Amino acid sequence: MTRLTGRVLRGAAATAALAFAYVLGAGSGGTGIHASARRDPLRRGSRPAARAAEPAVADPARAGSDPASDPERERAVVERALRRLGDRWARFYSAAEFSGLEATLNGWYSGVGLWLEKIGNDVRIVGVQPGSPAERAGVRPGDVVSAVDGIATRDLTVATVAAALRGRPATGVDLAVRRDGVSLRFALVRTAMASHDVSASLTADGVVVIRIAAFTRGVGREVRAAVTGRPRRPGGVLLDLRANPGGLLDEAVDTASVFLPGGLVATFERAGTPPERLMADPGGDTAVPLVVLVDGGTASAAEIVAGSLGDRDRAVIVGSRTFGKGSVQEPLRLADGSAIEVTVGRYRTPSGRNLDGSGIDPDVAVNANRPPREAERRALTVVRGLSATLPKKDRG
């Protein structure tokens, strides 16, 4: 394939992993950004659902434990209080973690350029951002993080490890990893980087392949540019949402709008208020053949995009069953800069489906155990088949 844009695949990197563990780690060992709140997920104002959790969090003693000065003990107290809410997705962020999440969702972070996931008790590097300090130093995907600044990472959450790797630009951090049984150490210098969550390439026969790593700020605009910025109509679009754990709900709506004439993308249901219909902007490209590629790591906001395009017969869905997260969270910022996040509602696809726990079954199934390249080849075959059915005057 030839490069269509200068964007590179592998978005969000180390700071993205902070939210990633929270969304998919519990069930699948995967990583990803969750669908935070609708419209402006990072606004500071409290919400009714979040307010209900506030007393136990603000006063640890009420949660059944004495206040502790140790940050790890304080975190444990707050997390016990949140578990009592019965909310699977309720989470606590330290001030540093929440600031990192804000930056990540806005498409920027300061760190070393690593994509992390939790596997058992280990935090493994699953991607290294091109041009990052980690890549220049020789860190590789598959390395297992053993320590950050001399602190052992075994049994730590991926959020804690990601937060330790982040920091002010031009500051140093020591990273220790295991690679094939050999211990290695790297002295890295943090830098400010764009997340690069959208990449696009063009196949020899004119299919535009757009990969979205997460729905961070500006993703919808970049997808539209990749589709409309061609000098001629492409021979089809493959929208790759594999391992995309979600992100900002408004960016998901904007992305769906690129391919829809307007109309319903999803319905948001919040307790105590009438359902809100999330609508696509009019004028999307409804003619270009479209395939959406998904897998078990496709979750939350990514499922909104796949579900809306599938329900409205705009795209063929290829791959394996998606994760199945149909809830929406909003944060409440506490006085010290930390935050709690709780579920405030659920969304439904245009046909009324609640994807929570069920996910999306693809139209064209590819066994989840097959190599990723096989799923992509199958998806490209479907795109080309759709393109071949168009009248010649409609082709690029």
Cα 329 to Cα 40, 118, 218, distances in angstroms: 11, 22, 20
Neighbours of 336 (CB within 10 A): 9
Q: If 0-12 CB within 10 Å is exposed, 13-18 middle and 19+ buried, where does residue 78 land?
A: buried
- Please count the CA atoms within 13 angstroms of the CA of 281 that sit on its side-chain side: 14
Instruction: Please pick, among 311, 320, 338, 387, the residue that the annotation labels catalytic.
Output: 311
Helices and strands in the chain: count of H runs, count of E runs: 11, 20
Can 311 be counted among the known catalytic residues? Answer: yes
Closest CA to 46 of 32, 33, 58: 58
Neighbours of 77 (CB within 10 A): 23
Q: Token match 């004119």: residue?
A: 206
Instruction: Tell me the backbone φ, ψ of residue 374, rounded to 5 degrees.
Output: -65, -45
Cα 1 to Cα 200, 209, 243, 300, distances in angstroms: 10, 9, 21, 29
Cα 11 to Cα 115, 196, 200, 219, distances in angstroms: 8, 5, 13, 11
Can 325 be counted among the known catalytic residues? Answer: yes
Q: If 0-12 CB within 10 Å is exposed, 13-18 middle and 19+ buried, where does residue 51 land?
A: exposed
How far apart CA 87 and CA 21 sit, in angstroms, is 16
Q: Which helix (H) or strand (E) holds 91?
A: strand 91-93
Instruction: Please pick, among 325, 327, 338, 387, the residue that the annotation labels catalytic.
Output: 325
Instruction: Please pick, among 300, 308, 320, 387, the residue that the annotation labels catalytic.
Output: 300
Neighbours of 132 (CB within 10 A): 21
Cβ(89)–Cβ(328) below 8 Å: no
DSSP string, 37-71: -SSSTT--S--HHHHHHHHHHH-GGGGTS---SSH
Which distant-in-sequence residues (6+ apart) come within 8 Å of 380 by Cβ? 203, 207, 209, 238, 291
Residues designated as active site:
300, 311, 325
